[in-house]
Structure 1
Amino acid sequence: MNHLQRLLGALYVTTSAGLALTTVLEFRHGPWWAAGLFAVASLVPLVAAVRESEPRAPAAGPRLRGVGTGADDDVVRAELDAACCEPWWTSCGTEHDVTCPRRVPRSSAA
């Protein structure tokens, strides 16, 4: 936990304590609905403080360029080399270029 996270955690706890004090004052001198509202609001910073203190797992998203392994690059290159042609990519595999070696002529038989 670095200094900024500690400062943020202290700010959350301080905010929650201030809202809890406001809750007590509202129970004594104000309307009951406002006291309930402040009671719920005082829990929100505590939830945020708990979430900030939990260790986080690394995100399983796309990797940055140059960070991936060479095997990933080889797989992508092999898949791109195995692809037919541009119309095949853009038509989701339903059309082929006239010069494509994998082109199957459509028959007129039904």
Structure 2
Amino acid sequence: MHELGIVFHIINSLEKIGEENQLKEVASVILEIGEVSGVADSYLKDCWKWAVKKSDLLNGAELLIEVIPAVTFCEDCSRTYETVKYGKTCPYCAGEHTYLMTGNEFNIKEIEAC
């Protein structure tokens, strides 16, 4: 379960941001997580609830998650498609010269401070 390590990394980053911006308390954090990033939302939220209790800045902060859809590009026909639904093979031309355009990202999108 790498989600706990991810949560600690996020908390450390947010505490640095909080210190630089003289924040006293964070009410919520919005994360963007790619659909195929390998991060399990439910585990991440469970780890978050436990870990933020140890931070003066983030204690009680809500974690909100926005999923970035996985989209693949086919170099054979220059079309995009849903990665999770079709995998590596293009549903339009059956081409296999494809690559993931979006869906494996992991970003802090927004911090709501009190």
Looking at both structures, which has the greater relative contact order when contacts are Cα pairs under 8 Å and sequence separation is at least 6? 2
TM-score (norm. length: structure 2): 0.23
Larger Rg, first or second structure (1 or 2) = 1
TM-score w.r.t. the length of structure 1 is 0.23
The structure with more helix, counted as a fraction of residues: 1
